[in-house]
Amino acid sequence: MSTLVISNLTKSFHKKIILEDVSVQFSTGDILGIFGRNGTGKSTLLQCMFGILDSDSIVIRINNKEINPKDVIASKKIGYLPQDSFLPKEKKVRDIIPIIFPDGEDQDKIFYTQGIHKIENQKAGTLSLGELRYLEVVLLCHLKHDFLLMDEPFSMIQPLYKELIKELLYTVKKTKGIAITDHYYQDVLSITDTNVLLKDRGLIPVFDKKDLVLYEYLTS
């Protein structure tokens, strides 16, 4: 079992502090839900954890071993699903898969994943939002990383693909630790083991919808 521990995370933009001394941890086998109103710093938190955004201060430990934030990407321990699509729109799905998975066996696993066969001859740019998001989640889930950070995997997705994504995440959580942030709180709550709410620059543990109402993320 691997454990990712983030501590002492502070991030500010032009003297405005977004995150202050934030700490969070999760292990393989866990799905962590991160809630928060727009502008509270959910995406910033994930980007700092992924090392693609510089933070004012951060300590990242994987299995008690400290990692320099600049080395997180190269370590290939953490994968990141950004809000916007990161796949080359001009490429067909069947051509994108070998770019990410040079190994033939790994490619087969992707091609045989439910729902991929019917889109393999389409260009990424012509896929529907749901198909594209599902493809991205499938690709990320098959990478060897121990941890996945997912920024809005359920946003604007039709129920069929939401269910496929949930099923997939539920399967891969046996070998990965996953952090999800999304405003579709019911979908997130249905698959998470622990949840936190980002409010007033810090994280508050939450357990259910009642807590989200209590801390004014939801109105009722």
Q: Nearest distance from residue 140's CB to another protein, in Å? A: 7
Residue with tokens 């710093």: 41
Which of residues 145 and 166 has its CB atom nearest to another protein in the complex?
A: 145
Query: CA–CA separation, 105 vs 80, rounded Å?
Result: 23
Which of residues 176 and 217 has its CB atom nearest to another protein in the complex?
A: 176
Which of residues 15 and 70 has its CB atom nearest to another protein in the complex?
A: 70
Which of residues 100 and 189 has its CB atom nearest to another protein in the complex?
A: 100
Span between the terminal Cα atoms of the chain, in Å: 38
CA distances from 119 to 105, 113, 135, 179 (A): 19, 11, 9, 27
Q: In 3D, which of 51, 41, 49, 57 has the Cα closest to residue 177?
A: 49
Q: Nearest distance from residue 54's CB to another protein, in Å? A: 12
Q: Nearest distance from residue 24's CB to another protein, in Å? A: 20
Task: Tell me which H or E stretch contains 33.
Answer: strand 31-36
Which of residues 76 and 210 has its CB atom nearest to another protein in the complex?
A: 76
Q: Nearest distance from residue 84's CB to another protein, in Å? A: 5
Which of residues 104 and 205 has its CB atom nearest to another protein in the complex?
A: 104
Q: Nearest distance from residue 97's CB to another protein, in Å? A: 10
Task: Tell me which H or E stretch contains 46.
Answer: helix 42-50
Q: In 3D, which of 103, 99, 51 has the Cα closest to residue 74?
A: 51
Q: In 3D, which of 5, 54, 48, 55 has the Cα closest to residue 26?
A: 5
**For the chain, what is the total number of helices (H) and then of strands (E)?**
8, 10
DSSP string, 81-110: E-SS--S-TTSBHHHHHHHH--SHHHHHHH
Q: Nearest distance from residue 73's CB to another protein, in Å? A: 5
Q: For residue 167, count other CB atoms closer than 10 A to its CB.
A: 12
Q: Nearest distance from residue 47's CB to another protein, in Å? A: 10
Residues that bind another protein (CB under 8 A): 50, 52, 70, 73-76, 79-80, 82, 84-88, 98-100, 102-103, 140, 143, 145
Which of residues 88 and 159 has its CB atom nearest to another protein in the complex?
A: 88
Query: CA–CA separation, 181 vs 151, rounded Å?
Result: 5
